[in-house]
Amino acid sequence: MKKTGKEILLRVVILIIGLTIAHLGVTLFLLANLGTDPFNVLIQGLHRLIGSTKITHGTVHISICFLIILILLFVDRSYIGIGTVICMF
């Protein structure tokens, strides 16, 4: 079944709203000093492990997401869509 441009736009808008709510939740966890989700703990640990001041936390996050997408390209390409790319950034 082919999706129309209007359906895709609606799905992208819903995705962005959902991502905004999810990341506001992560921000509230950090502001309340309650910790964070496991994926961000992994990113923070890798950032500290690298220890370079030239590589930012965001660069490590995007790099790991890109690595995951590369692995998915070999495992099962059906998981990769426009939402995958939007979530990565």
15-48 pLDDT, tens digit per residue, is 899 989 988 887 788 788 887 788 888 888 888 8
- The residue with greater pLDDT, 64 or 33, is 64
Rg of the chain on CA atoms, in Å: 16
pTM of the model: 0.65
What is the band of 1 on the pLDDT scale with cuts at 50, 70, 90?
low
For the chain, what is the domain count?
1
Expressed as residue numbers, the domain containing 76 is 5-88
Distance CA 8, CA 25 (A): 26
Structure tokens at 69: 């997408």
- The residue with greater pLDDT, 10 or 77, is 10
